[in-house]
Structure 1
Amino acid sequence: MRDLGAGFGHLLKGQRWVARHGRQYGFGLLPGLITLVLYAAALVALALWGEDAVAWATPFADDWDGPWQGLFRGFLTAVLFALGLLLAVLTFTAVTLLIGQPFYESLSESVDRDVSRDGTAPVSALPLWRELWISARDSLRILVRAGIWGVLLFALGFVPVAGQTVVPVVGFFVTGFFLTEELTAVALQRRGVELRERLALLRSRKMLVWGFGTPLGLAFLVPFVAVFLMPGAVAGATLLARELLGETGGEGTDGDEEDGEDNGGEGNGGSATTLPRPPAGSPAPGR
């Protein structure tokens, strides 16, 4: 239970950090806004032309009599839009992180510099295109895993009583776990931690992960909230990643640092450093 509170504490610290760093917060909003516009345009297009797409895909219903044709195609149109909306919810964080890779890398590095004792941050030795490729590949793998869980929980939802009580709660915790994986990947990928090792780290501290990701996932259900919470979520996930790896520092996240436009990225004067990649199968360096 203590880890649950610690995970939620990292989420709050991340939001406080971006509140004190106005420029980082402003840049961090851009990817979410871009993703929101793209998704909104796609959903509007689906609403406008979804019926035509369904009619094109069901030519066998052209000769149906009475109301059956309209009912059948109307039902399929509603299902198509619902699936599009579900896909948008499931992929919003991954797409936002992919679009905002340079923005969130900079934000995460600034958090690392701010809370480290020597004012340095781990940096990736990979070129940007390689980082984008790894992020897209790992996000697809996580989406497949989340999809399998989604199908399983959907099927269990038909179980009387448990399907309407226990299954939704389990679903929120599963969502919180995968959401935390996507967000901590920004900091962990810079440290050379591969997807399999990241999942092992998260599983080793499930209560900590749930304390961070589950309330964030619930907040993301409110329209547009995800856009405004994303910068602070990345900052908090960086603090969470540091705890998972057993890295020291972090006491200064709520300190008396002067509120500036971008204190975290330039004010510490430290040079960046690259941490050695942990060996495969090792849960975390220093743990």
Structure 2
Amino acid sequence: MTGTGADSGVLQGAAYVARGFGMWRRRPGLMLLGMLPALLVLLLVGAALVTLLFLVDDLVTWLTPFADGWGTWRDVLRVGLAVLVVGGAVFLASVTFTGLTLAVGDPFYERIWRATEEELGGPVPEGGLGLWRGLRDAAVLAAYGLAVGATLLVVGMLPLVGAVVGATLGFAVSARLLAGELLGRPLEARGLDRTARRQALRGHGRSVLGLGLVTQAAFLVPLGAVLVMPAAVVGATMLARELLEDQP
């Protein structure tokens, strides 16, 4: 495929999110309900981080009683440790936010993709992930995020290009994982196991990536995930249907 074709595939995938916003006109109440999971997770994570900021001084003091008599070096040690603790907490929150949102929002998002299936016509699958399966998938996604994040921290240490390469690669990988999870729900509801889902996505990697890139980019904007996630669920359902129609 040529470069133009590759760009076209990514743009087509991104366009599904834009199409998903059309559901606001048809089912505003349902889409408003779909904003709650990301908003709830954002508030909980934000509250946890603010609480940590208030408690971090006491925490690092408790962790370093051996440094009480070090004078200036005690302060240097504890300030550095506080920065590491807060930075680590922010990193953990960023790589687990998607998994937490999908876990909390699975019942809400299921209603959205079923409504989308009804609008598209044809049989609506009766299957669903269920609570425990949704929690397991969210935990797996969070674990992937931690593994990718740790790897990218190492890449980021490379001289000159490490930070740019690490940030770009991390964004693309996170986008692909997120798109896979969004598409996995309507596909698995039809009884497709992991192998069958991989087969359905084969040959459509750029469209899948485009869907993920737009959704992941929204996570970088304050309240972006809250606004975009319902539309991304609708767009992913539309894309899943078209992927299945392309199967022999």
Bucket of the pairwise TM-score, normalised by the shorter protein:
0.7 to 0.9
Question: Over residues 42-72 of structure 1, what are the superposed CA-to-partner deviations in whole Å (9 max), with x where a residue is unaligned?
Answer: 111111112222222222223322x221221
Paired residue for 1:56?
62
1:104 aligns with 2:103: no
Residues 63, 109 of structure 1: CA spacing in aligned structure 2 closer, same or farther, 3 A cutoff?
same
Q: Structure 2 matches for 1:53-132, cutoff 5 A?
A: 53-65=59-71, 67-116=72-121, 118=122, 120-124=123-127, 131-132=130-131
5+ long unaligned stretches in structure 2: 1-5
| Counterpart residue number, 1:252 | none
Runs of 4+ in 1 over 4 A off after TM superposition: 199-204
SS in 2 for 1:123: coil
Report the counterpart of residue 181 of structure 2 in structure 1. 182
Instruction: Name 1:24's counterpart in structure 2.
Output: 30
Cα pair 1:186 1:234 within 8 Å, conserved:
no
2:228 is the alignment partner of 1:220: no
Distance 1:87 1:192 in 2: 33
TM-score scaled by structure 1?
0.77
Q: Which AA in structure 2 matches 1:108?
A: W
**What corresponds to 2:52 in structure 1?**
46
TM-align CA RMSD = 2.1
Instruction: Give the match for residue 163 of structure 1.
Output: 162
**TM-score between the two structures when normalised by the length of structure 2:** 0.88
Distance 1:223 1:152, change over 3 A: same
The 3 A distance-change label for structure 1 pair 107 and 237 is same
Instruction: Tell me which residue corresponds to 1:262.
Output: none
- The alpha-carbon deviation at position 111 of structure 1 amounts to 0.4
Separation in 1, partners of 2:203, 2:68 = 56
- Would the aligned equivalents of 1:108 and 1:238 in 2 still touch at CA under 8 Å? yes
Unaligned runs of at least 5 residues, structure 1: 248-285
How far apart are 1:195 and its partner, in Å?
A: 4.4
The equivalences for 1:209-248 within 5 A come to 209-246=208-245
Asked if the contact 1:35–1:96 (Cα under 8 Å) also holds between the matched residues in 2, the reply is: yes
Q: Is the 8 A contact 2:53 2:86 kept in 1?
A: yes
Percent of counterpart pairs with the same letter? 35
Tell me what 1:137 maps to. 136
Give the Cα–Cα distance (whole angstroms) in 1 for the partners of residues 201 and 74 of structure 2: 50
Instruction: Please identify, of 2-11 and 130-139, the stretch whose mean Cα deviation from structure 2 is larger.
Output: 130-139
Change (3 A) 1:193 1:139: farther
> Partner of 1:45: helix, strand, or coil?
helix
1: distance between equivalents of 2:195 and 2:218?
Answer: 27
- Whole-angstrom CA distance in 2 between matches of 1:178 and 1:230: 15
8 Å contact from structure 2 (residues 95, 149) kept in 1: no
Q: Shift of the alpha carbon at 1:202? A: 4.3
* Count of aligned pairs between the two proteins: 242
Q: Give, in angstroms, the shift of residue 32 of structure 1.
A: 1.9
- Pairwise CA distance, 1:106: 0.6
Q: Which residue of 2 aligns with 1:15?
A: 21
